[in-house]
Structure 1
Amino acid sequence: MTTTLQGKTILMSGGSRGIGLAIALRAAADGANIVMLSKTDKPHPALQGTIHTAAEEIRAAGGQALAVVGDVRNDDDVLRAVLEAVGAFGGVDIVLNNASVINLSGTLELEPKRFDLMQDVNMRGTFMLSRAALPELLKAKNPHILSLSPPVSLDPRWLGAHTGYTLAKFGMSLATLGMAAEFGERGVAANTLWPKTTIRTAAVANILGGEELMRRSRTPEIYADAAYLVLTTPSRELNGRSLIVEDVLAEHGITDLSKYSPGVDESELFPDIFL
């Protein structure tokens, strides 16, 4: 394992709040540079945080931040984010595919525009942001692509539960694993990371289950700590894996996870989908 993310530049999609921001703050504690490509320029009535408040938190935590207002669906915005990262910090060491849209509607209920949005942000966004940054990653000393997406499974339980969303999330994973196979021999690691339990995010609160499910979920910091361990591992030693948050922590001797769900018994935690 490398010892730190100090001076490393992380290019991430999203990051205004939730898991992405937690990962950014963990990296910022080392003195990392965080470049966020996000549309969240102004406060949302139902969601906390903007790209600008996130940048302020990152700087307060000890890192440097660059807020790039744009859309991961827009190729010009994606290229601009890479160019601004290079201009500000000299390169890109890590790509974090964090931005994701969730819609659990069944096939007959899922409107075409909602389907397209999920595929464009989740799968296409992962592919295009990683692709745009690869020339810089290939020059980096310990380059990583990390996508927040699940292991690919042909279990009918997941294929049939919400086909549109499943396609979008598995698309993220397949794009990542494909790049692992294509660029691993050149030193670029590409892995996915997914939790065993639900995480306290806006999606859990507003879409999946409200306050009760939030209570039965772990904090985003568990994701952040696992991501940190992945990103500080030598890229040639960890590539093409569909990693699970709790397993990554266990591999590093962290088995007491109670701090990530304060006041909640382990038996009450709610399992996440896809596992």
Structure 2
Amino acid sequence: MPAETLNLVDGPSSVWSRLRIDAATASAEEPILASFLNAAILRHDRFADALAYRLASKLADAQLDAMLARDVVEQAIAAEPEIASRAAADMVAIEERDPACRSFLQPFLYFKGFLALQGYRVAHWLWKQERETFAFHLQSRISERFSVDIHPAAQIGQGIMIDHATAVVIGETAVVGDNVSLLHGVTLGGTGKADTDRHPKIGDGVLIGAGAKVLGDIKVGEEARIAAGSVVLKDVPAHCTVAGVPAEPVGGLCKEPARTMDQRIDTGD
């Protein structure tokens, strides 16, 4: 079943059904991994439970054992069910956009960008509960584990793909809309020591290429495209492609760049 046909209206139930089928198939094909797949997916009754188990196994450390980590994730999902539904939307986005993704197993079990993002969602919930020390602890652990540094106060939507993910940095006052695609080495950073808004605001459907730096309290309009290696220091209009250091508009209007993952620039030549 293509990812775009999955029904997410009822939350992650459709994704959960597909994930269980993928896990059962993989377990039959690779018996050596059957115990792992059973523990991570098949023995759970709900997507939320499996997500809590998987995140706990990744985020546990010497200060926070897996059982305690799982309790925290379960508390977060119980209080804010959108954490699970957004995770499901992220998985659909990854399968739709990433040709290297063979099934839902890859993001759920292995993809750093997906796992780091779900860990951030728990840290963000802790931040909103004014449990800042715990939120910072998870931020640090996520950075160590996945090489992705997302401040727990950042605001991030759903349907997000962080591809490859290594060296992605998202600052405290950054806002990322829905259906955004980021590649490795992206920085949504500040430009000084101001303690007010100092990070970018990224609209829905934006594609940010590998190694791009978007700096300061600037706005990137919906379905804009930022070319790999660019340094963006001023607002980017919607449906606009920018490239260079500093970035400037190039080519014509772009449409749904985050979904198509098309990074080619039409210069009209």
TM-score (norm 1): 0.31
Structure with more helix by fraction = 1
Larger Rg: 2
Higher relative contact order (CA 8 A, sep 6+): 1
TM-score (norm 2): 0.31
